[in-house]
Amino acid sequence: MTKNTPPTESTPPSPGEPAGRRRGRPPRTESAGTRDRILTAARGEFSERGYEKTSVRGIAKAAGVDSALVHHYFGTKEQVFEAAIAVAFAPALDAPVAVADGPLEGVGERLTRFVFGVWENPTTRTPLLAIVRSAVNNDTAAAVFRRLIAAQLLRRIAAQVDLPDPELRAELAAAQLVGTAMMRYVIKLEPLASADLEQIIARVAPVVQHHLTDR
């Protein structure tokens, strides 16, 4: 259970930055730079190892800071994970606005194109895959995923739907998209994995639309 990472390999916190949970007032730029460096390291660690195998100490080491500084800025491992996901998901969190912009009868296609756009792009696919893997394997990671996706994405889409059970509708629409993405990009089931994207969109978008707006 013990690891042999030498604790002295980390860089100590910069002078003036508190090493504990106490909220001091570090110089603004220094603080922003360190925070970003920790978040970048956290995304890398979570992507590579998954939630369970990632430790705050490993993140600190990858960022070249002391573990105490990670705790100072973010708190627990769960909170670092949430912050790292929030950054990785930042473009996705604009989706509800983008999707809600425009006529309601095109919402299925806009949402479908948005989701596949994120999955088709290798830069956004890698962190997303890491999040999905962590959420499937670990209850704490699942809870973070749930809070973020449910509260920030699906509820906002549901808010546009003026029909009974808007949240259940948004979730079943998301289920079609999540299931299709899993089978195409993770399980790589054929012919779905190699099918032309437009062919998939043509079949999936009407179903997403149906869930959201059909009586």
Query: Which positions touch a second copy (CB under 8 A)?
Result: 50, 132-133, 135-137, 142, 145-146, 149-150, 154, 165, 167-169, 171-172, 174-180, 182-183, 186-192, 195, 199-200, 203-204, 207, 210-211
CB of residue 160 vs a second copy: minimum separation in angstroms? Answer: 17
CB of residue 215 vs a second copy: minimum separation in angstroms? Answer: 12
Which residue, 104 or 189, has its beta carbon nearer to a second copy? 189
> Chain centroid to CA 51: how far?
12
CB of residue 110 vs a second copy: minimum separation in angstroms? Answer: 19
Which residue, 161 or 177, has its beta carbon nearer to a second copy? 177
- Give the CA count within 13 Å in the CB-facing half-sphere of 126: 9
Which residue, 87 or 182, has its beta carbon nearer to a second copy? 182
CB of residue 151 vs a second copy: minimum separation in angstroms? Answer: 10
Which residue, 70 or 212, has its beta carbon nearer to a second copy? 212
Q: Are 99 and 107 in contact (CB under 8 A)?
A: yes
Which residue, 104 or 136, has its beta carbon nearer to a second copy? 136
CB of residue 213 vs a second copy: minimum separation in angstroms? Answer: 13
Residue 40 neighbours by CB under 8 Å, 6+ apart: 63
- Report the distance separating Cα 203 and Cα 214, nearest Å: 16
- 50-61 b/e (C-beta count within 10 Å ≥ 16 → b): bbeebbbbbbbb
Q: Are 186 and 129 in contact (CB under 8 A)?
A: yes
CB of residue 112 vs a second copy: minimum separation in angstroms? Answer: 12
Which residue, 70 or 149, has its beta carbon nearer to a second copy? 149
- 163-197 b/e (C-beta count within 10 Å ≥ 16 → b): eeebeebbbebbebbeebbbebbeeeeeeeeeeee
